[in-house]
Structure 1
Amino acid sequence: MARDQVRREQSGVVKKHPFQGRTIAIVNDLSLDEQWYVYHKTRELKEAIRTGENLDQFRLQNREAAVYTIFMEDSTRTKESFRNAAEFHGLKVNVFDAKTSSFQKNETITDTIKMLCGYSTGQSLFVVRSKVEGVCRWLEEAITKYCKQRGFPRASFINAGDGRHEHPSQEMLDEFSFLETKGWDTSSIHLALLGDLFHGRTVHSKVDGLRIYRKVFVDLVAPAELALPKMYEDRMVARGYVVRRFASIDEYLAQDKVAKIWYFTRLQLERMGDKVLDKSMELRTAVTMRRDFVQLLPEGTKFFHPLPRDARYPVLPFWLDGTELNGWDQQSQNGYFTRIVLLGMLGGHFGDDFRSSGKEGTLPTSPMLLKSPFTGDFSPTSGPIGADMPDDLDLGYSPAFLAATDFIKEVAMAPTESCPDKVSEEVGLVPIANGIIIDNLASGQSIEQVWSLMYMVRDILDLHSVGGQGVRSSEEFPGKGSGFISVPDVDVSSWDRQPLKRLAAMAPGSTLKVMKNGKVEREFRLQVPPRVYNFKDISCKNTACVSHPKNMQHEVEPFFERCRHAGTGGEEQKDVMAFNCKYCETQHNFWEIWNYEFHRPTDATI
């Protein structure tokens, strides 16, 4: 039993531990205050080691708790630092050999973890590395429920790198290393990221890890083939970071504002196909340090690298090892100290002295959204999700509507609004007396995209050969338009929540008009639902995601959450028209989550 827990029980105070049983799947699973706690506790540990203090105060010393290192990809530093950190704490350590396990018999990771949770009487902590993205987020969900059902202590999961997604513990040791280099000055940081920024999950984690600084300047140094994915760059900009791009070290050093902290990454060209391999020497040269560059560096420059280096083509050549530029050796050792603290926190030993400032409750834990593709007038809430929704809608319809106020909002009908008869005439349709009209579909998109979305809506809602549809072309933007579907004799009050949510997820920003006796009786604005799941015809389009069928994790169902586009202060912005996968965080425009082959219209159709 952790000492902090003993003290709480002896004092007669039963208080939930702030960290025990938590999961760290992404950097943002720890708030800024909690990240600071990691860094300060690690600093305390290193100082105690330096001064020769007794280290027992830092040890968990619970032989009933177990740490499993499950590495389905090769690793040296992450695996061994976690193993030694667990040994430091006196925990049971199990080095799980994935290559000789039942994974080779196609067992799902969920079944494996369930079994392992039963092999300790204390808490189980799992350190997981996998090519499959979002594994730890899924396991947190599934195994927490399983542990509660079985009466086991809640298990913790630490993401030790999942595909191209994130590597949060690496990010924390990196930030600790930067803080040491900067003398713990957090007013600003100027950082150059170099190498393979496309595949580098350690770089992707920096989008959120760098939030500990008040001002952030990031220079991206990589050829176009290895550039940081736009999603991550956009998130940096949305955070308020100043971001610049350079194609090579030569180009970077040709200007005056050169960073003192350089973070190199190994090139993973083997993942990028023959076209890139043909240019491999050119790409390597662009981001490899040369002797003649040294004289151009600012005084006090430090180089960092998550390692390993490719001995054949090191971007940091070996002649640099004995120079003052070498920051990566100490960075690597910091992984041991930082991971001692992380295991101590999740195991319940560290945390009684944690205090939260309570100032960042509005900061999102989901990734921030790319700019909306829409140019229409759709304006989701600008505060917390659903904050401007009425508590109830006096619709007089079904209970399903009353339960759908998180994505359906009644709007006042303007006296000058075009009547359905006129709109129908514009697109060559016969007006309807009773039924529904779905208007303003895909506003601002190309005519082809509008037709595609309308056919998708009809197909998924099973509205084949019923009513009519048309497209209104935009006078202001040639080639753009919006769609219009009319469905006669449909009683929308008979719909349950599922078709309503389907429609809102496929056509956010559109309006649903309920027709009665040839007039618009009520009108509702459709908004992006907060969550979309339990639909058989959706899937994450990232083939590396734990929920993707190719990965055979059959228990994992697709689950999407409304993206938030947050500004520097954490406030939610107004151009949210997309979802991110709950597990791998891949962003999808709202139509991309559906398993549907878009109709490709001919000129005659249009």
Structure 2
Amino acid sequence: MPTTTARDRPRHLLDLAALPAARIDALLCRAQQFAEGAQAPAALAGVAVCTLFFEPSTRTRLSFQLAAQRLGAHVLNFDASTASTTKGETDLDTFRTLQAMGVRGFVVRHKADGAVAALAAAAQPGVAVLNAGDGRSHHPTQGLLDMLTLRQAKGEDFSRLKVVIVGDVKHSRVARSDLHALRALGCGEIRVCGPAALLPDDDTLAGCAVSHDLDTALDGVDAVMMLRLQRERMAEGLVASLDDYHRAYGLTEARLRRAAPGAIVMHPGPMNRGVEITDAVADGPQSRVLVQVANGVAVRMAVLEALLG
């Protein structure tokens, strides 16, 4: 994805589905440099970047803000709850207004599938749109930071790895982006585990080994990617109770021992402690949750630089 000429530079990052392995690898290499302390303070000097969030966020919003600031950008923070959208202004009019002010980079999060792509379609030349999560569809920078975390722990050859994604895949944009990235990078075996009601019924799981038994799914894996139970996106009744869900799909220390020695545990956050993961695992020696958070800044620096630098 990082290219040497403005003419060849991609305009937007909306998903990972069509991103070739070579571009993913280039972004991860650059992100690793940032993670190791590389500096690029003037890469976005004079560039205005707006975090345009129509949905709450902590990790994604703040890490994008920090990434843009470290690259020297002017950062504008848009909060839909206090903006003119509460007076009836459309998302598109808000976007066009900010473009008219000279904003060149938009980091957009939206609750509706496809909303970010619709704004990107209205972008003027020289304006870049980055998808910070739309509905249940895509979260490309989370997918990239997860791959960076996995690569740091297990090396660059993904063909040797067994990875399991556990939980509410049906409502998870993170899972979809992770699956695209794992396939692109040639992951040896991708397992998906969760209750039938929380697994998608489309082609999202193509090529994956699907299981409804967590103990079996954990056998010998090198990485466990736990997902948040997204109660705000699901209809009532998909899970009998939180206690039942934890008994069947909660990651405990005892269950984690079924994984390969040295297996890592990941979670995109926010975590529902005591539901999909216990405190002992979330805070334990195999957890890479806070490493993911740190890698989020590095990955978002790499993406902003590639699109706007």
TM-score normalised to the size of structure 2?
0.91
Cα 1:271–1:41 shift into 2, 3 Å: closer
Q: Which of 19, 23, 28 does residue 17 from structure 2 map onto?
A: 28
| Contact 2:44–2:68 (Cα < 8 Å) also in 1 | no
Computed over aligned residues only, the root mean square deviation of the Cα atoms, in angstroms, reads 2.3
Task: Give the secondary-structure state (helix, strand or coil) at the position aligned to 1:296.
Answer: coil
Structural mapping, 1:463-502, within 5 Å: none
**Matched residues, percent identical?**
27
Partner of 1:117: 99
Alpha-carbon deviation of 1:249? Answer: 1.9
Partner SS state of residue 187, structure 1: helix
Show the counterpart of 2:296. 335
**1:62-77 correspondence runs (5 A):** 62-63=45-46, 65-77=47-59
* Partner residue in 2 for 1:306: 268
Determine if contact 1:269/1:276 at 8 Å carries over to the other structure: no
Give the secondary structure class of the aligned counterpart of 1:28. coil
1:273 is matched with which residue? 235
- Asked if structure 2 preserves the Cα contact closer than 8 Å seen for 1:188 and 1:213, the reply is no
Q: Read off the aligned partner of 1:276 and give its amino acid letter.
A: L
1:80 aligned to 62, 76, 79, which one?
62
1:61 offset after TM fit, Å?
4.2
Q: In the alignment, which residue of structure 1 is the partner of 2:89?
A: 107
Partner of 2:122: 142
Q: Which has the higher helix share?
A: 2
Asked whether the 8 Å contact 2:163–2:191 carries over to 1, the reply is yes
Q: Describe how 1:379-458 pairs up with structure 2 within 5 A.
A: none
Match of 1:317 in 2: 278
The aligned amino acid for 2:127 is A
Residue type of the partner of 2:257?
A: Q
Alignment of 1:179-328 (within 5 A): 179-233=151-205, 236-237=206-207, 243-253=208-218, 257-311=219-273, 313-328=274-289
* Alpha-carbon distance in 1 for matches of 2:28, 2:108: 22
Are 1:96 and 2:78 an aligned pair?
yes
Distance 2:258 2:33 in 1: 36
Larger Rg: 1
- Offset of residue 322 of structure 1: 4.3
Aligned to 2:9: 19
Letter in 2 for 1:62: A
Is the 8 Å Cα contact of residues 69 and 127 (structure 1) preserved in structure 2? yes
Paired with 1:278 and 1:323, the residues of 2 have a C-alpha distance of 29
Give the conservation status (yes or no) of the 8 Å contact 1:26–1:166: yes
TM-score under structure 1 length normalisation = 0.48
Q: 1:305 to 1:192 in 2, by over 3 A?
A: same
Q: Deviations over 1:38-60 (max 9, x none)?
A: 0111122223x1xxx6x24x641
Pick the aligned partner of 1:172 from 138, 144, 149: 144
Q: Matched residue of 2:225: which SS? A: strand
CA distance in 2, matches of 1:214, 1:270: 33
Measure, in 2, the Cα distance between the counterparts of 1:215 and 1:30: 16
Number of equivalent positions: 308
1:218 and 1:277, CA in 2 relative to 1: closer, same or farther beyond 3 A? closer
Cα pair 1:24 1:30 within 8 Å, conserved:
no
Q: Which runs of 5+ in 2 are unaligned?
A: none
Q: Determine the C-alpha separation between the residues in 1 that align with 2:170 and 2:111.
A: 15
8 Å contact kept, 2:252–2:281: no
Letter in structure 2 aligned against 1:27: L
- Matching of residues 536-575 of structure 1 within 5 Å: none
Change (3 A) 1:248 1:94: same
Cα distance in 2 for residues equivalent to 1:116 and 1:215: 40
